[in-house]
Amino acid sequence: DAGVIQSPRHEVTEMGQEVTLRCKPISGHDYLFWYRQTMMRGLELLIYFNNNVPIDDSGMPEDRFSAKMPNASFSTLKIQPSEPRDSAVYFCASSSPALGGGNVLTFGAGSRLTVL
Amino acid sequence: AQKITQTQPGMFVQEKEAVTLDCTYDTSDPSYGLFWYKQPSSGEMIFLIYQGSYDQQNATEGRYSLNFQKARKSANLVISASQLGDSAMYFCAMREFSYDKVIFGPGTSLSVIP
Protein backbone atom coordinates (compact mmCIF):
# COMPACT_ATOMS: atom_id res chain seq x y z
CA ASP A 1 0.00 0.00 0.00
CA ALA A 2 1.24 3.50 -0.87
CA GLY A 3 0.10 4.87 2.46
CA VAL A 4 -1.77 8.13 2.96
CA ILE A 5 -1.05 10.45 0.05
CA GLN A 6 -1.21 14.22 0.40
CA SER A 7 -0.82 16.89 -2.22
CA PRO A 8 0.67 19.34 -2.73
CA ARG A 9 3.68 18.78 -0.48
CA HIS A 10 4.49 22.48 -0.54
CA GLU A 11 2.29 25.42 -1.38
CA VAL A 12 3.24 29.07 -1.40
CA THR A 13 0.44 31.51 -2.05
CA GLU A 14 -0.50 35.10 -1.49
CA MET A 15 -2.96 36.35 1.07
CA GLY A 16 -6.51 36.23 -0.21
CA GLN A 17 -6.00 33.31 -2.56
CA GLU A 18 -7.90 30.04 -2.32
CA VAL A 19 -5.93 27.00 -1.20
CA THR A 20 -7.00 23.39 -1.67
CA LEU A 21 -5.18 20.56 0.05
CA ARG A 22 -5.86 16.99 -0.98
CA CYS A 23 -5.70 13.64 0.74
CA LYS A 24 -6.06 10.05 -0.39
CA PRO A 25 -6.45 7.72 2.61
CA ILE A 26 -5.32 4.12 2.76
CA SER A 27 -7.76 1.88 0.94
CA GLY A 28 -10.20 0.30 3.37
CA HIS A 29 -9.68 2.86 6.11
CA ASP A 30 -12.96 4.37 7.17
CA TYR A 31 -11.70 7.20 9.38
CA LEU A 32 -9.99 10.30 8.05
CA PHE A 33 -8.54 13.12 10.14
CA TRP A 34 -7.16 16.55 9.24
CA TYR A 35 -4.61 18.18 11.58
CA ARG A 36 -2.74 21.46 11.50
CA GLN A 37 0.71 21.75 13.05
CA THR A 38 2.35 25.02 14.09
CA MET A 39 5.11 25.82 16.54
CA MET A 40 2.75 27.88 18.67
CA ARG A 41 -0.27 25.59 18.78
CA GLY A 42 1.19 22.13 18.17
CA LEU A 43 -0.97 19.50 16.47
CA GLU A 44 -4.57 20.66 16.31
CA LEU A 45 -7.40 18.43 15.16
CA LEU A 46 -9.42 20.34 12.59
CA ILE A 47 -12.04 17.80 11.51
CA TYR A 48 -12.55 14.09 11.16
CA PHE A 49 -14.76 11.84 9.06
CA ASN A 50 -16.18 8.37 9.50
CA ASN A 51 -17.39 6.62 6.35
CA ASN A 52 -17.15 9.94 4.48
CA VAL A 53 -19.42 11.72 6.99
CA PRO A 54 -17.98 14.62 9.05
CA ILE A 55 -18.23 13.68 12.72
CA ASP A 56 -16.64 16.64 14.47
CA ASP A 57 -15.56 19.92 12.87
CA SER A 58 -15.28 21.88 16.09
CA GLY A 59 -11.55 22.37 15.46
CA MET A 60 -12.04 24.21 12.18
CA PRO A 61 -10.78 27.70 13.03
CA GLU A 62 -13.36 29.74 11.15
CA ASP A 63 -15.66 29.86 8.16
CA ARG A 64 -12.74 30.33 5.82
CA PHE A 65 -11.95 26.64 6.32
CA SER A 66 -14.02 23.85 4.82
CA ALA A 67 -13.46 20.13 4.32
CA LYS A 68 -15.17 17.55 2.21
CA MET A 69 -14.97 13.83 1.65
CA PRO A 70 -16.98 13.06 -1.49
CA ASN A 71 -15.94 9.39 -1.48
CA ALA A 72 -13.92 6.88 0.52
CA SER A 73 -10.72 7.58 -1.39
CA PHE A 74 -10.52 11.37 -1.42
CA SER A 75 -10.79 14.35 0.87
CA THR A 76 -10.08 18.06 0.49
CA LEU A 77 -9.36 20.86 2.92
CA LYS A 78 -10.04 24.28 1.48
CA ILE A 79 -9.07 27.70 2.79
CA GLN A 80 -10.74 30.68 1.20
CA PRO A 81 -9.50 33.37 1.49
CA SER A 82 -6.12 32.42 2.91
CA GLU A 83 -4.30 34.56 5.48
CA PRO A 84 -0.66 34.58 6.65
CA ARG A 85 -1.69 33.05 10.01
CA ASP A 86 -2.85 29.95 8.11
CA SER A 87 0.79 29.12 7.36
CA ALA A 88 1.38 25.67 8.84
CA VAL A 89 1.88 22.01 8.03
CA TYR A 90 -1.43 20.28 7.38
CA PHE A 91 -1.54 16.55 8.00
CA CYS A 92 -4.08 14.04 6.86
CA ALA A 93 -4.33 10.68 8.67
CA SER A 94 -6.52 7.62 8.24
CA SER A 95 -7.36 4.57 10.31
CA SER A 96 -9.53 1.49 10.50
CA PRO A 97 -10.90 -0.22 13.63
CA ALA A 98 -11.05 -3.47 11.67
CA LEU A 99 -7.27 -3.67 11.88
CA GLY A 100 -7.34 -3.73 15.69
CA GLY A 101 -4.56 -2.22 17.77
CA GLY A 102 -6.56 0.75 18.86
CA ASN A 103 -7.45 2.09 15.44
CA VAL A 104 -3.99 3.59 14.98
CA LEU A 105 -3.68 6.65 12.77
CA THR A 106 -1.41 6.45 9.73
CA PHE A 107 -0.26 9.90 8.69
CA GLY A 108 0.49 11.36 5.31
CA ALA A 109 3.71 13.29 4.71
CA GLY A 110 1.95 16.61 5.25
CA SER A 111 1.36 19.70 3.14
CA ARG A 112 3.45 22.72 4.08
CA LEU A 113 1.47 25.89 3.41
CA THR A 114 3.03 29.33 3.34
CA VAL A 115 0.75 32.33 2.90
CA LEU A 116 2.59 35.56 2.07
CA ALA B 1 -12.87 16.98 28.75
CA GLN B 2 -10.32 15.15 26.69
CA LYS B 3 -6.82 16.50 27.37
CA ILE B 4 -3.18 15.43 27.03
CA THR B 5 -0.32 16.99 28.99
CA GLN B 6 3.39 16.58 28.30
CA THR B 7 5.28 18.64 30.85
CA GLN B 8 8.78 18.23 29.41
CA PRO B 9 9.30 20.57 26.46
CA GLY B 10 12.86 19.32 25.98
CA MET B 11 14.93 16.39 27.23
CA PHE B 12 18.53 15.31 26.85
CA VAL B 13 19.84 11.77 27.21
CA GLN B 14 23.24 10.19 26.79
CA GLU B 15 23.56 7.63 24.03
CA LYS B 16 22.88 4.06 25.26
CA GLU B 17 21.04 5.32 28.34
CA ALA B 18 17.32 4.91 29.01
CA VAL B 19 14.94 7.88 29.04
CA THR B 20 11.35 8.38 30.18
CA LEU B 21 9.04 10.84 28.48
CA ASP B 22 6.05 11.87 30.56
CA CYS B 23 2.41 11.94 29.48
CA THR B 24 -0.69 12.50 31.56
CA TYR B 25 -4.21 12.55 30.24
CA ASP B 26 -7.73 13.37 31.25
CA THR B 27 -10.89 11.66 30.07
CA SER B 28 -14.28 10.59 31.37
CA ASP B 29 -14.57 7.80 28.82
CA PRO B 30 -13.84 4.38 30.40
CA SER B 31 -12.70 3.01 27.05
CA TYR B 32 -9.77 4.73 25.38
CA GLY B 33 -6.43 4.17 23.75
CA LEU B 34 -3.09 5.88 24.23
CA PHE B 35 -0.49 6.26 21.51
CA TRP B 36 3.01 7.58 21.08
CA TYR B 37 4.32 9.03 17.85
CA LYS B 38 7.79 10.14 16.83
CA GLN B 39 8.40 13.11 14.53
CA PRO B 40 11.99 13.42 13.33
CA SER B 41 13.31 16.63 11.81
CA SER B 42 12.19 15.40 8.39
CA GLY B 43 8.61 15.91 9.54
CA GLU B 44 6.85 12.57 9.14
CA MET B 45 4.71 11.17 11.97
CA ILE B 46 5.79 7.66 12.95
CA PHE B 47 3.63 5.45 15.17
CA LEU B 48 5.60 3.83 18.01
CA ILE B 49 3.36 2.11 20.52
CA TYR B 50 -0.24 1.67 21.66
CA GLN B 51 -1.88 0.95 25.03
CA GLY B 52 -5.57 0.22 25.51
CA SER B 53 -7.31 1.29 28.69
CA TYR B 54 -8.34 -2.29 29.44
CA ASP B 55 -5.00 -3.86 28.67
CA GLN B 56 -3.65 -5.61 31.75
CA GLN B 57 -0.02 -5.47 30.76
CA ASN B 58 2.14 -2.55 29.71
CA ALA B 59 2.79 -2.41 26.00
CA THR B 60 6.26 -3.03 24.60
CA GLU B 61 7.64 -2.66 21.08
CA GLY B 62 11.33 -3.34 20.77
CA ARG B 63 13.20 -0.62 22.68
CA TYR B 64 9.94 1.20 23.45
CA SER B 65 7.74 0.43 26.42
CA LEU B 66 4.77 2.24 27.84
CA ASN B 67 4.52 2.67 31.61
CA PHE B 68 0.74 2.77 32.00
CA GLN B 69 -0.63 3.83 35.38
CA LYS B 70 -4.36 4.02 34.93
CA ALA B 71 -5.24 5.35 38.38
CA ARG B 72 -2.78 8.21 37.93
CA LYS B 73 -3.85 8.71 34.32
CA SER B 74 -0.30 8.56 33.08
CA ALA B 75 1.21 6.81 30.06
CA ASN B 76 4.92 7.45 30.04
CA LEU B 77 7.12 6.30 27.17
CA VAL B 78 10.36 4.57 28.07
CA ILE B 79 13.08 4.33 25.46
CA SER B 80 15.86 1.95 26.38
CA ALA B 81 19.41 2.08 25.03
CA SER B 82 18.97 5.45 23.33
CA GLN B 83 20.43 5.91 19.86
CA LEU B 84 21.36 9.06 17.98
CA GLY B 85 18.47 8.38 15.63
CA ASP B 86 16.05 8.72 18.54
CA SER B 87 16.55 12.49 18.51
CA ALA B 88 13.11 13.80 17.53
CA MET B 89 9.83 15.24 18.81
CA TYR B 90 7.65 12.73 20.65
CA PHE B 91 3.90 13.12 20.89
CA CYS B 92 1.48 11.39 23.21
CA ALA B 93 -2.07 10.99 21.87
CA MET B 94 -5.39 9.68 23.10
CA ARG B 95 -8.46 8.26 21.41
CA GLU B 96 -11.75 8.02 23.30
CA PHE B 97 -13.49 5.02 21.78
CA SER B 98 -17.02 6.24 22.40
CA TYR B 99 -16.31 9.28 20.28
CA ASP B 100 -13.21 8.33 18.23
CA LYS B 101 -11.71 11.79 18.44
CA VAL B 102 -7.89 11.65 18.57
CA ILE B 103 -6.02 14.50 20.23
CA PHE B 104 -2.32 15.07 20.73
CA GLY B 105 -0.22 16.53 23.50
CA PRO B 106 2.21 19.43 22.91
CA GLY B 107 5.18 17.11 22.44
CA THR B 108 8.62 16.61 23.98
CA SER B 109 11.82 17.29 22.08
CA LEU B 110 14.39 14.59 22.79
CA SER B 111 18.06 15.07 22.02
CA VAL B 112 20.44 12.12 22.26
CA ILE B 113 24.00 13.14 23.08
CA PRO B 114 26.90 11.00 21.82
Tens of pLDDT, residues A37-89: 999 999 999 999 999 999 999 999 889 999 999 999 999 999 999 999 999 99
d(CA A88, CA A85): 8
Q: What is the mean pLDDT of chain A?
A: 94
Spatial CB neighbours of A80, under 8 Å, sequence gap ≥ 6: A18, A19, A64, A66
pLDDT in tens, B20-35: 999 999 999 999 999 9
- Pairing of the two strands B108-113 and B88-96: antiparallel
pLDDT the model gives residue A98: 74
CA A85 to chain CA centroid, Å, is 17
CB < 8 Å to B44, chain A: 107, 109-110
Confirm or reject contact between B60 and chain A (CB < 8 A).
Answer: no
Confirm or reject contact between B52 and chain A (CB < 8 A).
Answer: yes
pLDDT in tens, A1-47: 689 999 999 999 999 999 999 999 999 999 999 999 999 999 999 99
B88 three-class SS: strand
Amino acid symbol at A88: A
